[in-house]
A and B are shown apart, each in its own frame.
Chain A
Amino acid sequence: ETGVTQTPRHLVMGMTNKKSLKCEQHLGHNAMYWYKQSAKKPLELMFVYNFKEQTENNSVPSRFSPECPNSSHLFLHLHTLQPEDSALYLCASSQVTSGGPYEQYFGPGTRLTVT
């Protein structure tokens, strides 16, 4: 888990708050991902960044705003969230090269509770 770090590990926020989740990878990878994990549901891919460019946005509400300033850092900015957004948010990275395969390395996650 030390290859990908996430802060904070736990976050409780009100529906009107603005907060940010941070992810940093120390593996020299060129792709980073945000996932949402809710109870009893498959892991939901939210955003994909390859070489700092967003390549995928899976119909995520605009109250989630990603930012990837460089290939090592990824942020998820949160504002006016809903209680159903409470979940474990996982960051992952991988080295995407021609032909693959692509193992993903995950951070420990941020447990988010929206009150």
Chain B
Amino acid sequence: SQQGEEDPQALSIQEGENATMNCSYKTSINNLQWYRQNSGRGLVHLILIRSNEREKHSGRLRVTLDTSKKSSSLLITASRAADTASYFCATDAGSTLGRLYFGRGTQLTVWP
């Protein structure tokens, strides 16, 4: 499969704690993206990391990419109840046609 696979499937933490989600993929990529989905809604793009980048930050988000291990991680620092959502990684599998391959996602629950 060319899809990314997120780990864990579900994560439950308290507000203020950090949340780390991992993504593994199988093919070469040009870039890897992380998306967020609130229950029953559309996906929202969070952050994109190119294959020649190792780490990227955006606000409370930190993404790492290890192309030798074909893996990425998304860290959300100082989590809030509003961060409760499903998080998906998506890769382009080396395609330049705009197609993305999504995994099943990690369901994050942040308790107040």
Contact = CB atoms under 8 A, between A and B. Distances in A.
Interface of A: 1, 4, 6, 31, 40-43, 45, 48, 50, 55-56, 88, 90, 92, 94, 96, 98-109, 111
B16 to A, nearest CB: 28
Contacts of A41: 104
A100 B96 contact: yes
Interface residues on B, range: 20 to 34
Contacts of B99: 45, 48, 56
Contacts, number: 71
Contacts of B40: 88, 109, 111
Given A42-B3, A48-B99, A111-B40, A101 B45 contact: no
Interface string B42-57: 1111001010000000
Given A100-B30, A103-B45, A111-B40, A43 B102 contact: yes
Nearest to A91: B42
Given A103-B48, A111-B40, 9 more contacts: A1-B41, A48-B98, A56-B99, A90-B42, A100-B31, A100-B92, A104-B90, A105-B45, A106-B42
Contacts of A42: 3, 102-105
